[in-house]
Chains A and B, each alone.
Chain A
Amino acid sequence: MPDTLAQPMRFGSSSGQPVTRRDGIAKVTGDADYAADHSPSGMLHAVYAPAAIARGRVTAMNTVAAEAHPGVVRVITPANRPALQGDPADKSVMFTFRIEVLQDDTVRYAGQPVALVLAETLEAATEGARLLDPQYAVEVPRVTLADAESEPVAGQGFGQPADTTHGDVDAGHAAAARSVDVTYTTAAQYHNAMEPHAIVAQWEGDHLSLDVPTQAFALSCAGYARYFGIPAENVTIRCPYLGGGFGSKAIPAGPLVLAVLAARDVGRPVKLALTRKQMFGPVGHRGATEQRLRIGADGEGRLSVIDHDNVAETSTFDDFVEPAANASQGLYAAGALRSRHRAVRLDVGTPGPMRAPGEASGSAALECAMDELAEASGIDPLEFRLRNYAETEPGTGRPYSSKALRDCYLQGAERFGWSGRPSAPGTMRDASGLLTGWGMGTALFPAPMFAAQARATLKADGTALVETSAADMGQGAWTALAQIAADSLGLPLDAVEFRAGHSSLPDGGVAGGSGHTATAGGALHAAGLDVVRQLGEIAAADPESPLHGAGNAQFVARDGRLFVEGDEGRSDALADILVRAGGAPLTGTGRGARAPEAAAAHAMYSHGAVFAEVKVDPDLGQIRVSRLVGAFAAGRIINPKLAESQLFGGMIWGVSFALHEEAKFDRRTGRIMNADFAGYHVPVNADVPGLEVIMVHEDDPHVNPLGVKGVGEIGIVGTVGAIGNAIRHATGRRVRRFPIRIEGMLG
């Protein structure tokens, strides 16, 4: 195959434009319907009783009281739970975890469903669940990394990171003129999308119809089908909008499967929506980590070794381990690289992928350790990173498909004013006397692709219908994917009707891994090109077409017309070609995926550099990130307005990670004591007064025909370390525990 894909390619008039979100008005006026907005007639409400202990057994429940409560229709416990055809431990569908669906009376984590109550109203179901008043045989829970011994990672599946070593690690340590050996900890975090998990389930015979938020239609259909012993095509999922997923809504979660089971049992539609508090347990989280970094550099500040050990939590009944140490792969040109992982089994719900899994936690530690070594070496943090800039992927030697990281560093530094940074910490004060500090971090995130399909249909009126099931998580897929589709057909955006959000459409793949625009967009692009190719054949065979006889030529569509590539003088209107051919719609199909050999030939990442300014009150210790500048190179940007929003969102999550988010476990009970938004903090607007994103130009001829990488997750990655480093620079204090709080600044 050729070394590069066809280049350069201009993508019409829509791609690259900051088109306003097409679903925006529907969302702000309440027209957009989310899963829990649906209430089919005859529907029952389901509420589950969550376990109040983290480890032990349910010994009794007052089902009599619950069943006697007015409006309660049925109480389902492990004793009377209807049969499930599939195994709750089945993991044959990608990204699936073992689910808790009342299969026994064992309690494995606080918040685990221990019974389900169905009632005519939400209030009655809620009160019924409360009246159950479960009694327990309690065992001592283990909920923090200190509560149990670590063990090797169990296997090699999803969420079971392998150890990776490149080069001679011992020699790297021996060669270091300067080194640091530091341990950082990160807290357990919970996804908490604005829309909690919810489902409305209806059965008709052995056909299942669901309103449920999903990041992956086909995988979700396959998952529900497996649990209920029906073919995947019998499962219909409607999900036009998704109020955030962040990795927690890819596949069926236990409470949602319970609702489907209940609906089948009672023969009525059932709605179940998690409360905010219930989001802390059965639907995944970012596991706590303890990361030891031993890194060394020679006398010139060139890294001889990055040795990254991660100990992370997992549950007692599944194996997802935060792959944090892998964040040290792919980035800096160290002579030797080692990433190792161990797991601690705790009485918690199984952790899972949460926006920038691995990289967010791993980079937080790595970027701080890098600054510690830079400071020990007497080198400016940016200069230190530039000195260790990797021209090829460290360890493997593979070329990068593209890497404009140097431009990110330089443009970000210029915009931020980095060159004015005093090297000594604790020396900058602002006009109000606040300690001021500047820090930076490098951002790296893989540019994967999943597999997706799409269909494009050109109509004789010159408009088109394009379809893929692709989920819009709120990131703007409704708009960005339509832009790609319009350009692939050479039509203005307004002439293209885009359908998505329904499982009957061609499989749009997974909205995750920062690969959605590349994957679903790639499928839409290919479908459009398929239409153009077919249309070219029709025109070339049509004696009335100006394109007659151009049978061997390449055709391109632009501005509603078909051209012979390289010959602007010959063209025909798309609609006219179809009309002359009888007016029947013309359908093309396309697939988005990356060939394995292309994936192997290059290292493919998005890159970025984040610069942070923090203010810290010298007496009172309150911290605020006054300014963040992020410069990112992520291939072709389809919609700069939406991409900027995505990157802002990531950077704000970086603030959240660095300063706010932490699930606080009571080690006596295993319960999370701040399981609401009053106690589990994320930043408010007043916490992010100065955000700026620079999108650095980058052409990537290898990642895919569109040259699209992804921007969904990378914004978090460099930001956390940048903030930790800025706090060090402001105060002279190096805090190695995230989140960093007032108490860490005092005393």
Chain B
Amino acid sequence: MKSFDFVQPRTVAEALAAWGPGAVWLGGGTSLIDLMKLGVAQPDVVIDLGRVAGMRSVDVQGDGAVRIGALVSNADLTRDAAFAARFPMVAEALLSGASGQLRNAATVAGNLMQHTRCAYFQDAGAACNRRDPGAGCDAQGGVGGGVAVLGASPACIAVNPSDFCVPLAALDAVVEVQGPEGGREIAMADFHLLPGDTPDRVTALAPGELIVALRLPAGADGFAGHSRYLKVRDRTSFAFATASAAAGLRMEHGRIAEARLALGAVAAKPWRVAEAEAVLIGQTPDADLFDRAATIAMAGAEPGDDLAWKIDLARKTAVRALCLAAAGTPARMPALPASVFAEPAGEKVHA
């Protein structure tokens, strides 16, 4: 791979000072290192955040919000039982992603920053507007699979591969950022960008900005009793989603008081549609109702060359996730988290 400088700051301030054009942040490296080996990422400077202090804790704040340090590993977060109890769909999504080894290395902020697994983005010999603006998009008419059916543009049809981001979007998570201009917060819904004419701009981060924490706002744990993440894929583990959905319901007297629904693997960002959630409010849960919501969520989906089945699958995945959420969060995390083949749900927390 291309030679690069390697720096290891000890504080956020040092990290920010080390940044310049051509620099990249290194978290767990599970996405970046692969891309460097492939010649897709060719940074001049790699800023290893592994020694930066103060970004490895999960804290409950005064108002009940939960703040997750950027360098908390995916594995550590899934092992935090108190966190899983409050945000089961987040824990389930994390556990359904990658493998145990990768979750040990990967950080939560890195999960937000991971690149698309579009085969043409990863192939340095292919045309890709995301890598090389104006080069074209060989994924169109290609064989990569896993392409967007929502929010795509003529310039790019890549999907965001993250599981974790889907429930984060559903729960209105907030991304805390520090940069050359100081700190700011970005709503999860605004963090990942649709490709439009600038597919090389993948997130809302400005150059030199660094994620320092994620925050689940106060009240986001109100869905804990009816909260699921479902991930459909050809392989039962260690595979990206073909379709996924995070569903959360807050129930009052048998009726849906509040609803959240986000879909994964269909677009360049987790897909959340306010109208799909609104249609559920005040209703009693049933499959037809959920089908109406899922249909609204998938409105405008483009089947492209041959993806009608994927639109159908994404809709049905959303319906199933809502049904599972309505049935109640399992008291124990299924042995196969988020899987179609999880054992029968068994004892519920609030059913």
Contact = CB atoms under 8 A, between A and B. Distances in A.
Nearest to A51: B125
Interface in B156-177: none
A432 B341 CA distance: 9
Nearest to B345: A432
A624 B236 contact: yes
A619 B3 contact: no
Nearest to A624: B341
A621 B233 CA distance: 9
Contact of A742 (B126, B234, B336, B341): B234
Nearest to A431: B344
A747 B312 contact: yes
Given A130-B39, A615-B341, A686-B336, A664 B2 contact: no
Most buried by B among A617, A620, A623: A620
Given A127-B1, A678-B117, A684-B238, A666 B142 contact: yes
B86 interface: no
A686 B236 contact: yes
B260 interface: no
Contacts of A668: 138, 141-142
Nearest to A620: B232
A686 B233 CA distance: 12
A660 B235 contact: yes
A684 B320 contact: no
A681 B313 contact: no
A52 interface: yes
Interface string B219-249: 0000000000000111111111011000000
Given A678-B117, A686-B237, A746-B312, A622 B336 contact: no
Given A666-B142, A684-B238, A742 B119 contact: no
A16 interface: no
A743 B311 CA distance: 11
Interface string A154-194: 00000000000000000000000000000000000000000
A673 B336 contact: no
A741 B234 contact: yes
B308 interface: yes
Contacts of A687: 235-237
B123 interface: yes
A742 B242 contact: yes
Nearest to B139: A673
A622 B232 contact: yes
A201 interface: no
A137 B54 CA distance: 55
A709 interface: no
A666 B232 contact: no
A684 B126 CA distance: 30
Contact of A681 (B117, B125, B234, B320): B234
Nearest to B319: A619
Given A622-B341, A684-B237, A686-B236, A671 B125 contact: yes
A123 interface: yes
B235 A620 contact: no
Given A620-B313, A620-B340, A683-B235, A664 B143 contact: yes
A203 interface: no
B154 interface: no
B316 interface: yes
A419 interface: no
A194 to B, nearest CB: 15
Given A127-B2, A615-B341, A681-B239, A747 B309 contact: yes
A659 interface: yes
Given A660-B235, A673-B123, A747-B308, A621 B313 contact: yes
Contacts of A621: 232, 313
A87 B110 CA distance: 51
B321 to A, nearest CB: 11
B120 interface: yes
A681 B117 CA distance: 14
A78 B243 CA distance: 47
B207 interface: no
Contacts of A150: none
A743 B309 contact: yes
A674 interface: yes
A745 B117 CA distance: 24
Contacts of A742: 232-234, 242, 309, 313
B312 to A, nearest CB: 6
A684 B99 CA distance: 10
A685 B335 CA distance: 13
B20 interface: no
A673 B145 CA distance: 10
A679 B141 CA distance: 18
B341 to A, nearest CB: 5
A731 interface: no
B317 interface: yes
Nearest to B316: A619
A442 interface: no
B335 to A, nearest CB: 9
A655 B319 CA distance: 29
A679 B312 contact: no
Interface string A121-164: 00100110010000000000000000000000000000000000
A684 B236 CA distance: 7
Contacts of B119: 664, 673-674, 679
B144 interface: yes
A450 interface: no
A41 to B, nearest CB: 25
A123 B2 CA distance: 8
Contact of A660 (B232, B234, B310): B234
Contact of A619 (B236, B308, B320): B320
Given A52-B125, A747-B309, A432 B239 contact: no
Contacts of B138: 666, 668-669
Interface of B: 1-3, 39, 117, 119-120, 123, 125-126, 138, 141-145, 232-240, 242-243, 308-310, 312-313, 316-317, 319-320, 336, 339-341, 343-344
Interface of A: 52, 70, 123, 126-127, 130, 431-432, 434, 615, 617, 619-624, 659-660, 664-669, 671, 673-674, 678-679, 681, 683-687, 741-743, 746-747
Across the A-B interface, the 10 shortest Cβ-Cβ residue pairs: A686-B236, A52-B125, A686-B237, A673-B119, A664-B143, A746-B309, A622-B340, A619-B316, A617-B340, A684-B237
Given A619-B319, A743-B310, A747-B312, 16 more contacts: A52-B125, A123-B3, A434-B340, A619-B316, A619-B320, A620-B232, A624-B340, A668-B141, A669-B125, A669-B138, A673-B119, A673-B143, A679-B119, A681-B234, A684-B237, A743-B309
23 contacts: A52-B125, A123-B3, A126-B1, A127-B2, A432-B343, A615-B341, A619-B316, A620-B243, A620-B320, A621-B232, A622-B340, A622-B341, A624-B340, A659-B234, A667-B143, A668-B141, A668-B142, A669-B126, A674-B144, A679-B117, A681-B235, A684-B237, A743-B309
